[in-house]
Structure 1
Amino acid sequence: MSQPTTTASPDATTGQETDAADTGYVPVELAGYPVRALVSQRWRASHLRALNAGDLDRFAEGVLHPDDVDAWYAADPTQDEIGDWVRAVAEASGEALGKSSGRPASSKITRKR
């Protein structure tokens, strides 16, 4: 007879990572409302342009799960709450926004002439 196998329950971070891998969304609270957002690596250039242009409703409609867009309007978040939320989404996605690795420094030594 085979014995049933059991698995340990994952911690919250592992659960979020699994959820993000399965759905492409991470759960992050926005001004007291639970919402799901696309992982930040999947935000399109148009989403970022909307955010940078201050078109926050269009940005939210692009990155929130379609079932959670109404929560955006109900929350009516402040600028500070939006900033905190964007940072929280990036952290939950496993990446800090604005922290691009950029080009590595050249290993060649240049000399002045």
Structure 2
Amino acid sequence: MSQTTPAQSQENEATETYGTAALAGTDLRVKPVGQWRPSYLRALRAGDYDGWAAGVLHEDDVEKFLDADATFDEINEFVTDAMESTGETPGKSGGSSTSRRSTRKR
């Protein structure tokens, strides 16, 4: 993995947009859900909140997330707020919904 120079970090930060959500009274910056990698979602689903935070939070906010040592309820509320702040509604997928009727030919 290559190291990012300070100039590259500034350029990346300038081109990335973040939403914000509060965790334990501290606003943290979160990447839009569309920029999350599948591995970040797997970490979230597996309860690896530290791994998820390292992937989706602004690099300066990851330590704040870890230091907060929030409860599961606080983290779940934070994740919901973070997704909503970036324009994504939790539990809603852009994919097509499945029909309850069978698609089997008769």
Matches within 5 A, 1:14-53: 23-53=16-46
- Find 1:97's aligned residue among 70, 90, 100: 90
Decide which structure has the larger Cα Rg and report it. Answer: 1
Structure 1 residues 104 and 32: CA distance shift in structure 2, 3 A = closer
Of residues 27-36 and 61-70 in structure 1, the stretch that sits farther from structure 2 once superposed is 27-36
**How many matched pairs?**
89
Structure 1 runs (4+) deviating above 6 angstroms are none
* Percent identity between the two aligned chains: 48
- Is 1:81 matched with 2:77? no
TM-score by length of 1: 0.68
| 1:23 Cα deviation from its structure 2 partner | 2.8
TM-score by length of 2: 0.72
The CA RMSD measured in Å over matched residues stands at: 2.4
1:65-87 Cα shifts (integer Å, max 9, x gaps): 00111101111111011111111
1:13-60 Cα shifts (integer Å, max 9, x gaps): xxxxxxxxx532112111111210111221110000111111111111
Residue segments in structure 1 that go unaligned for 5+ positions in a row: 1-21
